[in-house]
């Protein structure tokens, strides 16, 4: 039987609140009956990306507040959270500036692995990753609501719910350990050394220095230096280098499969059917929200998808985007592609389906789905 995926279309045909995107999202959350997933007095993490200085295409705070309200109506106790992406204090400040705070959302906003990003629990993973450290606020929870801003990603094409679980629900560097025992760095790098610097290509522009969230990079004269102990192996410096003077040898397929493996590891800490997903297909930009910029959306807003199947919801997201026309004045306008091609994958020359197929093979859900429009 196909998995059920509910769909709130971005198009609005009447000037009436119940017909608005927000009104229909509220109605469908009530119809889904969240009591099937979350219990009275249960502490429920709402996992999402909290934004980044310079990036403005994130989930709108009013949508997050609506989810909080619906959880409170069934007497659950929600809190909004993510693991460290920037250093925790700076990340909370970025979240506040984006509009994610206790006052706007009516729920606590916390860093899942603590203010120093060191609070985690080790969990056995699979063949590629071996072991991951899960932030304690996620590991110790009995359920989770996952809100994902769907967009592109340099290493895997699509960034949706699978990536939100895989990258956002692991700790960068656990207490007393190095990056290899965290998880995010292992997925990005999958090797022992730091990035390779190509001196002949480097113009010493300093973008990598400004982008590094840990001040691990410095340029002194004509020397490029990396503090190996500080470096998280997040790969942002490699992505932003305009001259491609920084590279990381990486298997694209291995990265995508490791995402599925990490997602499976995270989900292993919950009981089945205790995690629910909401994918927001608004401001579908070509890059991850971790970047310090937001580019023009590549396709028109599609709407919101809801499901308890992480594979189905990402497959449905990919299909909706594939059917959309590329927007003028965006990176999609520069593509020469067939109408139903993987537009996000085409932008980054990756196959977005690899992670979905791997997750399905690992038993995380089904790519066969039935779309039910609200």
Residues in the chain predicted with pLDDT less than 70, given as ranges, are 174-194, 249-251, 336-340
| pLDDT, position 245 | 84
- Report which DSSP code applies to 325: P
Please list the residue range(s) of the chain that carry CATH number 3.40.50: 3-182+252-369
- What is the structure's pLDDT at 337? 61
Question: Residue 363: what pLDDT?
Answer: 97
**What pLDDT score does 310 carry?**
98
Q: Which of 88, 94, 141 is nearest to 115 (CA)?
A: 88
Give the pLDDT of residue 44: 98
What is the C-alpha separation between 266 and 361, in angstroms, rounded? 16
Question: Taking a C-beta distance cutoff of 8 angstroms, is the pair 25, 63 a contact?
Answer: yes
| CA–CA gap between residue 316 and residue 24 (Å, rounded) | 19
Asked if the 191-247 domain carries CATH number 3.40.950.10, the reply is no
Cα separation, 325 vs 314, in Å, equals 19
Contact between 289 and 57 under an 8 Å Cβ cutoff? The reply is yes
Residue 223 makes CB contacts below 8 A (sequence gap 6+) with none
What pLDDT, on a 0 to 100 scale, did the predictor assign at position 334? 77
Cβ–Cβ under 8 Å, residues 170 and 134: yes
Half-sphere exposure of 116 (CA within 13 A, CB side): 5
Q: What is the pLDDT of residues 321-361, one digit of tens each?
A: 999 989 999 988 878 665 547 889 888 888 999 999 999 99
Q: Report how far residue 313's alpha carbon sits from residue 319's, in angstroms, rounded to the nearest whole number.
A: 10
232: phi then psi, degrees, rounded to nearest 5: -85, -10
SS3 345: helix
The DSSP bridge partners found for residue 279 are 148, 305
Question: What fold, for 3-182+252-369?
Answer: Rossmann fold (3.40.50)
CATH 3.30.70.20 residue ranges in the chain?
191-247
């Amino acid at each position: 039987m196909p998995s059920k995926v509910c769909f709130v279309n971005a198009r609005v045909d009447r000037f009436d609140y119940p017909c608005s995107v927000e009104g229909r999202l509220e109605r469908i959350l009530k119809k889904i009956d969240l009591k099937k997933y979350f219990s009275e007095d249960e502490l429920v993490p709402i996992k999402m990306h909290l934004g980044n200085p310079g990036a403005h295409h994130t989930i709108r705070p009013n949508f997050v507040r609506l989810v909080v309200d619906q959880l409170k109506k069934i007497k659950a106790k929600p809190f909004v959270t993510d693991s460290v992406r920037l250093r925790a204090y700076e990340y909370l400040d970025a979240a506040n500036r984006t509009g994610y705070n206790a006052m706007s959302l009516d729920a606590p906003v916390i860093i899942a692995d603590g203010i120093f990003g060191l609070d985690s629990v080790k969990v056995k993973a699979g063949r590629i990753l071996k072991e991951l450290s899960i932030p304690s606020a996620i590991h110790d929870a009995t359920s989770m609501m996952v809100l994902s801003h769907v967009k592109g990603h340099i290493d895997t094409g699509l960034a949706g719910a699978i990536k939100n679980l895989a990258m956002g629900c692991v700790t960068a560097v656990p207490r007393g350990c190095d990056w290899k025992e965290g998880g995010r760095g292992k997925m990005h790098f999958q090797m022992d050394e730091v990035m390779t610097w190509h001196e002949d290509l480097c113009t010493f522009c300093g973008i990598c220095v400004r982008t590094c969230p840990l001040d691990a990079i410095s340029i002194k004269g004509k020397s490029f230096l990396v503090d190996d102990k500080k470096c998280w192996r997040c790969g942002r410096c490699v992505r932003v280098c305009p001259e491609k003077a920084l590279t990381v040898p990486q298997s694209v397929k291995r990265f995508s499969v490791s995402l599925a493996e990490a997602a499976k590891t995270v989900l292993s800490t919950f009981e089945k059917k205790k995690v629910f997903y909401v994918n927001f297909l608004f401001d579908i930009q070509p890059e991850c929200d971790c970047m310090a910029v937001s580019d023009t959306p590549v396709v028109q807003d599609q709407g919101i998808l809801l499901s308890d199947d992480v594979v189905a919801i990402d497959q449905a997201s990919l299909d909706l985007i594939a059917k959309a026309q590329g927007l003028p004045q965006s990176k999609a306008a520069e593509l020469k592609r067939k109408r139903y091609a993987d537009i996000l994958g085409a932008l980054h020359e990756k196959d977005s389906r690899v992670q979905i197929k791997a997750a399905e093979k690992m038993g995380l859900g089904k790519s066969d789905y039935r779309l039910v429009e609200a």
